[in-house]
Structures are given as structure tokens and as C-alpha cells.
Structure 1
């Protein structure tokens, strides 16, 4: 109970700092400092220096700025306009119209990057200016990006599935395959919601464009070829084993530069502007990651995640009640921990409970990712919210409000996976 009170105190402290306008990274660092200084005997300076440096020097993070730079190049070239120009004739009559580009774009890019932050940042850089120029509702624009950006955690290659697979010594390839159908389900749910919202709010959607003949639509689709070349090139290099995700990100930058040059939109100014823009966005994300890493370590020192998991285990719940309790538990942790830290800090304690309840480990991995996706757009520290706040300049609470419907859709997806576990287990079983 003392740990529950302590967690409440820290959450209130973090909310207060964010509400007062303190930078996100500074807020995370301050709460981590408070947790260690007041409730442990660990040297704060040593913990801060070690973990901030460790979080900033991981090789796996090298792909993040490269994918962001790729988005900056596409944003400043005609390629982003070509993407919308090629898709517009096909989606002009679909309810929600170009809002679906955010969802489909995030789902495709998620298969390239494996990173929620990179997905939201890159697609956001490409789509927000185009949708705004066309008069689309800003709240829905932000919401679709916030929700669809989380697909980077589920659609392979998923960093968090790799961490989970290593922690439980399970086949990572089976975990990747298990994420395919839930990923398709989420994309379908997001697009269905956009269609329903558009039908209920016709005044907030731009008017339908005149019907375009098939020949004209096919002609416009030629503008998609450069973007598709980049996507296919990056995905193929990963899935055929030619390049790692980091190498593939570098290839994406190279392809973007070459295609921008061939299209005549690459100049020395656009090159420098894209490089500086990617640097600013990457520094923002890296600073937040360092603060989150320090806060995660602070939570580990206080023992809050382990105590909460042990407390749930002591309740001797039925499988469904256990899943309901764990869902609340993970979402609460997601308010002040990043997804990977949640998995690392709690798996050892929770896994025996899962085995005792007779739950499939592969299924539980997909369930954990879905719940962690929810935490990515859960106030106050959902990581996608901060990425979109940096892109849009809007208040974090306004961004969180726009993401709320997609948070509820993610909650529905968790219910569906619990009621119909075959969504996550059928494809891996075909490998046996």
C-alpha cells in the first residue's frame, strides 16, 4: 500500500510539472530525481549520468533520426505532394477521404521502422501540411496520427516484441507473425471509425471532389511511384536480410535524396533545412528518451512496478479478472514509464502468473503490446503525444483529447483479442 501511495505522489508531481509548462524531459528528470532522493539511498548523480548516457548511446536508436530525416526530405520535396496527389483520386469518394492516408501511411511505415515515434514523426511531417492545406479537421488529423503511429509497436519489426521475446526466451519470428492479424485489425478499426465520424460530421470534412474517370486516376497514380519505390526498397532490404533497420533507414534517406534530386525539388537550401529539422526533432525525442530512461530506473529503485505486480498476484484472480487487472496496471504504469521499461521491469514477476492461468505466452506478448500502445497515447506522458506536440505546437492536453477516440479503439482491440485469442495465435500455429 505504501508503494501505491508513493506511485500516486509521483504521478501527481509529474502532472503538476507538465501542467505548469515545464519541458517534458525536465519534468521526467525532476520526478526521477524526487523518487530516488526521497525514497531510496541510491546516489542520484551517478544514476542520472549512467542512465541518461546509456539511453542516448544505444545503436538501435540510430535508425530514429535517419527515418525522421527521410520524412523531412519528403516533406520539403514534391514527393509528399505526389503521395497525396496519387492517392486523392482513389480516396476522394471514401468517407473520411484523405484522413485514411494517415492510417495507411502509418501502417506501411510501421513495417519499415518498427518505432512508434519514428512512424508518427515521419508520417506527420508528410501529411499534416497537406491535410491542413486541404481544410481537414485539425483534431481528427492529430488523432489519426496519434492512434496510427502506435502501429510501429505492433507491426514487425517491433522493438518491444524483440524485448519481450528475449525476456521470455520465445521465438521472435513467431511473435512477429503473431502481430500481423492484430495489426490488420487495428488498421480496419481506425479506418472504420474515420468513416463513421465523417458520416456523422459532414460539416467538418471537406466537400467531395468531382468523380474522376478511371483513366485519369490511373494517370495520377504514376505520381505514387517514387514514394512506393522508397517504401518497397526499405521494406525489401529488411525482410530479405540485405540490411538491418538502421542500414535500411540510411537507404531510405539515400533514396529520398536521389528521388528528390531527380524530381528537381532538391536544392542546397532544402537539404540544409531538412537536415536541421531532423536534428531538432531527433534532439527533442532523444532528450525525452533520456528523461524517460532516468525515470524508469528511478521507478525500478523504488520497487513500485514489482510491488504492484506482486500485489496483483496475491489476489488469486480468474484468467479474465487477471487480464482486466493487468490492463489497468499496465495503463497506469504507462502514464509514467515507456513501454520497453514496463516489459523489462514486470515480465519476470507477471510471467509465472500467466503460466499458472494457462495463458499462451505468444498471445500474452501481443496483448502486452496492444496495452502498451494504449499507454503511448495516455496522458500525461504518452510518447506519441509529445512527438505530435512538437510537430503541431499544440497544448499536450489538446493533443491528448484528439487521441482519446483512438485510445478507446485500442481498448476495444484488447477486448477483441481477449475474447478471440485466435486473432493473435492462429498464424503462429501454422508454423508448427
Structure 2
């Protein structure tokens, strides 16, 4: 009976999501109702205040608004134009030519952003008009940008990894290190698809630009120096054991201001817009985290997480089948929820399952990050799809179809990571220290 009421509460939660009530407020409201039903002797207000303060006072979470602010500052600079200018001369002889600037550009910007939507918007504001002007097919140009934009979640620093690390109580620095090789692998798979597509459709790819001398290419590549230095500052300080993830985020904010000042884009208006953009996004994420913390406590009183874990254990699923089942769950949830909501909403149920199955939490963090990436390009709720809809005027479902091959590349990446877990484990194992 208790389990049935708990499932009813989950149904009410998704009903509230569907009506447009804020996700954080929906979780808090349902949690209060569950507390009244299952723990009437425990004041719901006191419990809510205690658990939200306890979970939100984590020092690790301080990195979240700082990385968001860094991305907001860079979004208002000329960094996308500089990156396109630096990359384009080297792409002319590759199958697919300038389409690869979407993937490589997103990979580079992901290393200083942490946000999928910001990566997609920043790179897209330069590459989409340029590829259109040169006559590249819109399906491959927009689809590759939609798929590669998700690398903002996998290549560190990553907002999803910070949220997951707090929920799973694992090292953020180790999660960041674990995401590097899978990020490179996924970018390589996407580039391989673009190359294969262009070789099978040679008539749809415009002819290359006239070749440039090698020294001219090198001079154009100088435009990449500021962002490369920022990557070294942010990630190098973590992996060298000099700074925690939070301290490196502060370095990143200072570095983004330096780039904006060097490009003469650091105005009072841009500063104010970056502060307000970071405040809005951080507030949204923290409200979701607060609601999830309270919901986790409330669901604990129902016994639902324990019942589900026992039910899954009774099925005697192999680790591979458990991973497939969890992956399918997240893909379905990704059609209706954003990535952060998915992670915090399911952590209390999923983490005990993977611990019981003996699955490493660092590896699972990378797995869940890639599955959340899939959610960014699945209609009807896909943040990258919304970004590109506003940028291109195409429908959500048209962009979703164009993104489908890159969705499949993410599935291939997951299979490879399962078969070769060393791709995730190797770099974290080399770290001398792993500050949170």
C-alpha cells in the first residue's frame, strides 16, 4: 500500500511538470504531501529547512555559479569568430571540410564552458551563417552543431558532473579527468560520421577554398591562443593538484574577463548581462537541487527507493542489462526533463542500484553524463533543439531528425566505454591528488 501511494506521488509530480509548474517547486510540494502522509509526527517545514540547508551548503557547489559565470562572459566575447578563423584553414582537406569546425569548435569551447546550450549557441552564432553562406547542406551543418554542442556536458568543466558529484559524493576533479578521453572519443566518432557522410554525398559538399601557405595557416591559428591558455589555466590547475574545482572556476572567471578585456568586449552592459544570466541559471539549478534534496528525504520515508532496489536485485540482472535498463529510463525521461532535473530526481533510486551491482561511481558518472547529453537533442524537451530553433527558424522535430545520427554516435560511444572501461578510469588513476 505504501509503495502504491509513493507511485501515486510520483505520478502527481510528473503531472505538475506537465502543467508547467517549476520543477523545484513541484518537488517541494509533492515532498510536503508525502511527509504529511508517511511521517505526520515529523514537522515537514523543519525537515525541509534542515535537509535543504545541509545539502546546499556544500563547498563543492560553489563551483557551479562560477563556471556558469565564466561561460556567460565568454558567450559575450568574439571567441566564436576567433575560433572559426583559427580552425577553418586546417579543415579544407578533410572529408566534410568546414562542417568539422562545428565539432572541433564545440570541443574546444566545451573545455571552458560546462554548459551544452552555451556551447551550442556560442559556436553556432558564427558557424551556422558561415556554412549557410558557403552552401553546405543545412541538415548536416545544423545536425552536427546540435550533436557536438552536447560535448559541453562531457568535456570538463561540466555542470552535470558537478551536480552528480555532489549527489554521489565522489571527487569532482576525478570526474573531470574521467570525462576527457570519452569526450575526445565522442568528438572523433562525430567527425568520422561527418567524413563518411561527405564521402557518400560528394556532390553536396562545396569545393574547398584555395589552399593557404603553411605559415599563413599557423598565423591564423594564433586566434586560438587565448582559449587554449584559458583551458590550461582551468583544467591544468586541477590536474596538477594546485587547485580544487571551485578554485579553478574562480581562475576561469578571471581568465574570461582577461579575454573579454583583450578583445575590447568587456563593457558595463556585457558585465551586467553576464551577471544576470549566471544568476538566473544558477537560481534555477539550485531550486531544482533544493527540491530534489527534500524529495529524496520524503521518498526515504515511503521506502520506495529500497523497494525498487530490492526488486531490481531480485531480477538478478547482469551489470550490462542494468546499465541498458537505466539508460532506457534516462532516454525516456530526457524527452520531458532537462538533464540536471533527471540526475537529481533519480539519484536516490539509481545510485543504490549501481553500488549493489558493483559498478564504479566515477564510470557511472560519465555514463549518465552521456545519456543526459542525449536528452539535449531529443524532442520535445531538448535544450540544444530550443537553442537551434531560435537560431535557425527550423522546427524542433526537423532539428531532432538532423541530430539523429549524432544521437546514434553517442550510443556507440557508450558501448565502447562499457567494453573498454579504461577509457574512463585511466586519467583519474594518474592523478596524484583529487581535491573535491
Which of 141, 144, 148 aligns to 2:148? It is 144
Matched-pair contact (CA < 8 Å) for 1:161–1:365 = no
CA 1:166–1:69 in 2, change beyond 3 Å: closer, same or farther?
A: closer
CA 1:273–1:111 in 2, change beyond 3 Å: closer, same or farther?
A: closer
Using the TM superposition, name which of 172-181 and 101-110 deviates more: 172-181
Q: Which residues in structure 2 correspond to 1:110-125 (within 5 Å)?
A: 118-125=114-121
Equivalent position of 1:66 in the other structure: 66
Secondary structure of the corresponding residue to residue 115 of structure 2: helix
Q: How big is each residue's C-alpha offset from its partner over 1:222-251, in whole Å with a ceiling of 9 and x where there is no partner? A: 211222222222222222233322222222
Q: Which residues in structure 2 correspond to 1:126-165 (within 5 Å)?
A: 126-134=122-130, 135=132, 137-138=141-142, 140-145=144-149, 147-152=150-155, 158-159=161-162
Q: How big is each residue's C-alpha offset from its partner over 1:391-426, in whole Å with a ceiling of 9 and x where there is no partner? A: 976999758777665544333333333344554567
CA 1:177–1:143 in 2, change beyond 3 Å: closer, same or farther?
A: closer
Alpha-carbon distance between aligned partners in 1 of 2:275 and 2:430, rounded to the nearest angstrom: 45
List alignment gaps of at least 5 residues for structure 1. 355-360
Using the TM superposition, name which of 236-245 and 418-427 deviates more: 418-427
Q: Which residues in structure 2 correspond to 1:3-402 (within 5 Å)?
A: 3=3, 6-7=6-7, 9=8, 12-33=11-32, 35-37=34-36, 41=40, 43-54=43-54, 56-95=56-95, 100-101=100-101, 103-105=103-105, 107-108=107-108, 118-134=114-130, 135=132, 137-138=141-142, 140-145=144-149, 147-152=150-155, 158-159=161-162, 180-196=180-196, 207=206, 210-213=209-212, 214-318=214-318, 320-325=320-325, 327-328=327-328, 338-339=342-343, 342=346, 345-348=349-352, 350-354=354-358, 362=360, 365-367=362-364, 369-375=366-372, 377-378=374-375, 385-386=382-383, 389=386
CA 1:317–1:370 in 2, change beyond 3 Å: closer, same or farther?
A: closer
TM-score normalised over the length of structure 1: 0.73
Q: How big is each residue's C-alpha offset from its partner over 1:89-115, in whole Å with a ceiling of 9 and x where there is no partner? A: 2235545555545544554566567xx
Q: How big is each residue's C-alpha offset from its partner over 1:238-287, in whole Å with a ceiling of 9 and x where there is no partner? A: 22233322222222222222232233332333333333333333333333
CA 1:245–1:131 in 2, change beyond 3 Å: closer, same or farther?
A: same
Report the alpha carbon displacement of residue 45 of structure 1 after superposing the two structures with TM: 3.3
Alpha-carbon distance between aligned partners in 1 of 2:245 and 2:329, rounded to the nearest angstrom: 32
Report the alpha carbon displacement of residue 30 of structure 1 after superposing the two structures with TM: 4.5
Matched-pair contact (CA < 8 Å) for 1:371–1:414 = no
Report the alpha carbon displacement of residue 131 of structure 1 after superposing the two structures with TM: 3.0
Equivalent position of 2:434 in the other structure: none
Alpha-carbon distance between aligned partners in 2 of 1:400 and 1:27, rounded to the nearest angstrom: 28
Report the alpha carbon displacement of residue 67 of structure 1 after superposing the two structures with TM: 2.3
Secondary structure of the corresponding residue to residue 284 of structure 2: helix
CA 1:152–1:33 in 2, change beyond 3 Å: closer, same or farther?
A: farther
Matched-pair contact (CA < 8 Å) for 2:146–2:377 = no
Alpha-carbon distance between aligned partners in 2 of 1:193 and 1:401, rounded to the nearest angstrom: 15
Q: How big is each residue's C-alpha offset from its partner over 1:19-73, in whole Å with a ceiling of 9 and x where there is no partner? A: 4444444444445455555566464434444444455443322222222222232
Equivalent position of 1:414 in the other structure: 414
The alignment yields a C-alpha RMSD, in angstroms, of: 4.6
TM-score normalised over the length of structure 2: 0.73
Alpha-carbon distance between aligned partners in 2 of 1:4 and 1:408, rounded to the nearest angstrom: 36
Alpha-carbon distance between aligned partners in 1 of 2:396 and 2:10, rounded to the nearest angstrom: 16
Alpha-carbon distance between aligned partners in 2 of 1:31 and 1:202, rounded to the nearest angstrom: 55
Matched-pair contact (CA < 8 Å) for 2:92–2:98 = yes
CA 1:181–1:222 in 2, change beyond 3 Å: closer, same or farther?
A: closer
Matched-pair contact (CA < 8 Å) for 1:29–1:295 = yes
Secondary structure of the corresponding residue to residue 264 of structure 1: coil
Report the alpha carbon displacement of residue 212 of structure 1 after superposing the two structures with TM: 3.5
